[in-house]
Amino acid sequence: MATARIVIVGAGPAGIRCAETLVKAGFKPILIDENRRDGGQIYRRQPEGFTRDYSTLYGSEAAKARDLHDSFDRLRERIDYRPDTLVWNLIPKQLCCVSQGKHSTVDYDALILCTGATDRLMPIEGWQLAGTYSLGGAQIALKSQAVSIGHRVVFMGSGPLLYLVASQYLKAGANVAAVLDTSPLSKRIVALPKMLARPGVLLTGMKLLAQLYQAKIPVHLGIKPEQVLGDAASGVNGVRVRTAKGETLTVDCDAVALGYHLRPETQLADLAGCRMRFDEASGQWWLAVDEEGRTSVSGVYAAGDGAKIRGADAAEHAGRLVAMALLEDQQKPLDAGLRDEQRKALAVMDQFRLGLAQAFPWPAEQARALPDTAIVCRCEMISAGELRRTVSEKGACEVNRAKAFSRVGMGRCQGRYCSQAGAEVIAAAAGVSVQQVGRQRGQAPVKPLSMLTEEVSP
């Protein structure tokens, strides 16, 4: 069955390592990616004509980025690479794709979803104002376009990316107004034993923090975000938070980078009928996969942050491992030693990610405390009060039902940036756990399509 049609979706660290392993085994997979260039979000390549070197672009991760890009460049002629192509739907054994306004279908025998993640957001009053960006978005602005999202930028939220992006902005010469972390120091101390699973990564994180302190950037831990300040016409002009000591702190700025770690992109897996599971540590729904990346649906596999949020290093290992799972299922020979290496590396990263979840927890309680006037759905300006009324007046205690009544999750972003916080708001209003209110179902098209899309006959 050397002719099995294998399709990988996503050309980030997981997708590239998966493709590489399959090519070594004699396959020529199709690699579909929505981006124009390989690398995913984390190792996103700058446009042609840009001249910054690897060290400037990727800092401590420069060697990994270069290695992944080099691997991809070697693979490129040995795979069927289709960049700038969105998989917008799937039916059994067939993907529906759109590229440059043209629709086409791609048949598959085996599908490996390496769809990655986006920022995980918790709303705050005023977050709809122009000048509020996701933390990952702030990083892309710098990495991919060499710009800062503002003249004076506040970094707010929690998670390792908060310190990474703030320090990257600092190094690039941007004006960093403050770093405001919702997680208190005590959580980090409790999480230390687990985070020591990867002492090198922990040390890198501490160095970033030291750089921020050295540059006298105000860093506040254990804050409670209250409001992004500004007006509808000109956008952000500050943020107001409550400090750990209970004092009000206002910081002037014209941009806010906001984020609380990551959420997985699971829509395609959902449409394929793959089972999901609730991950207690992070408090969100993840794809149910076995240790090697098999989903509950035969022939559908997943790896990287779209399957389990463990970061880029883990995604490379998981990409190789999932390829070997597929080889095993196709009764092809595989390198058992290499497989054991990937498993061992991932066990360490599993431990570390539990530490991260403990050190920088998702601030579920913020959703409960959100004022009725705060916007939950920034696409369509739907407030927390409106969402709560679907629970109190219409008895909608399940996410999809509340979505139907309120439209939270139905706007342009299709729930990517509101549905998790929305679920917390619903759970708090209904007095049940967030797991009980369920998760927003994936819907095709997984991203908006233009009415001008043309069908291409095969």
Partner 1 sequence: MSGRFVRLAEQGRATVSLTVDGVPIEALKGDTLMVALLTQGNALRQSEFDSGRRAGFCLMGACQDCWVWTRSGERLRACSNEVREGLDIVTTQPEAKWPLHG
> Please, which residues bridge with residue 434 across strands?
none
Q: Which of 1, 232, 248, 298 binds partner 1 (CB under 8 A)?
A: 232
Which residues in the 48-107 window bind partner 1 by CB under 8 A?
Answer: 48-52, 56
Question: Which helix (H) or strand (E) element contains residue 236?
Answer: strand 235-242
d(CA 295, CA 123): 31
CA angle at residue 6 from 4 to 8, to 5 degrees?
175
Nearer to partner 1, 145 or 250 (CB): 145
Residue 149 found at the interface with partner 1 (CB under 8 A): yes
- Per residue, the 3-state secondary structure of 1-64, as one string, reads CCCCCEEEECCCHHHHHHHHHHHHCCCCCEEECCCCCCCCCCCCCCCCCCCCCHHHHHHHHHHH
Nearer to partner 1, 265 or 398 (CB): 265
Q: What six digits make up the tokens of 278?
A: 């609730």
Which residues in the 241-260 window bind partner 1 by CB under 8 A?
Answer: 254-255
CA distances for 1 relative to 59, 101, 350, angstroms: 43, 34, 34
Q: Which of 1, 173, 245, 431 binds partner 1 (CB under 8 A)?
A: 173
Q: Which of 23, 172, 221, 338 binds partner 1 (CB under 8 A)?
A: 172
Choose among 21, 228, 44, 29: nearest CA to 136: 44
Burial class of residue 448, CB neighbours in 10 A (0-12, 13-18, 19+) = exposed
Shortest Å distance, C-beta 347 to partner 1: 30
Under 8 Å between Cβ of 302 and 289: yes
Q: Name the one range near partner 1 by CB under 8 A: 141-149, 268-276, 302-310, 319-327.
A: 141-149
Phi-psi region of 277 (alpha: psi -120 to 50; beta: other; left: phi over 0): beta
Q: Which of 21, 85, 89, 134 binds partner 1 (CB under 8 A)?
A: 134
Shortest Å distance, C-beta 355 to partner 1: 26
Q: What six digits make up the tokens of 138?
A: 């702030």
What character string, x for contact with partner 1 (CB under 8 A) and - otherwise, covers 361-380? -----------------xxx
Nearer to partner 1, 44 or 320 (CB): 44
Q: Which of 29, 38, 41, 95 binds partner 1 (CB under 8 A)?
A: 41
Residue 151 found at the interface with partner 1 (CB under 8 A): yes
* Binding site residues, partner 1, CB under 8 A: 34-36, 41, 46-52, 56, 118-119, 128-134, 136-138, 140-142, 144-151, 172-174, 232-235, 254-255, 265, 378-381, 412-413, 416-417, 447-448, 450, 452
